[in-house]
Amino acid sequence: MQKLDLEFTCISRSILYASNDLSSGKELNYWNFAVSFHCSLSHSNLIAKLKYIERSCGRHRPGSLSHEVPIDLDLVFLLAESSLDSEVEYCMDYSFILKTSYFIGPLANLHPSWIHPDAEIDLSMTLKNTKELSPRLEKISDVS
């Protein structure tokens, strides 16, 4: 969060969740949260900035997350302006968000009323309608 504070403005964060991943054959534990912020960077420059932050926090191995990583920053959506009602410039595939608890849980906590361009209901209702989250999410004590 300190690195994001140095790079962006109007930062807000969801509550903190814990999840695990058993896909690699060993249990890996992750902390998950969503962050929103304002910036004037283009999509490609924002991706480059997020990768720079990952490297500065100790992430050096590319590829899948089937190993322990200190940080993984994913761009889920990019809006043209600061309002959640503004035009969407980039958005992660909705089906991927739906099947991935570490996206839908924190996103619904941070922006419950946001509606993905490919959806008909907001994130709060999407989360409520999700039968089973995988991996399982557990709310943990909020830390600043």
pLDDT digits (tens, 9 = 90+) for 115-131: 999 999 999 998 888 87
Pairing of strands 77-79, 35-38: unpaired
**In this structure, what DSSP letter does residue 121 have?**
S
Asked if pLDDT for residue 23 goes beyond 70, the answer is: no
Instruction: Write down all domains in the chain, each with its CATH number in brackets.
Output: 2-139 (3.30.70.560)
pLDDT of residue 37: 93
32 to each of 35, 44, 75, 86, 139, how far by Cα in Å? 10, 24, 14, 26, 10
Least confident of 7-11, 31-35, 134-138: 134-138
Share of the chain above pLDDT 70, in %: 83
Q: Is the pTM of this model over 0.75?
A: yes
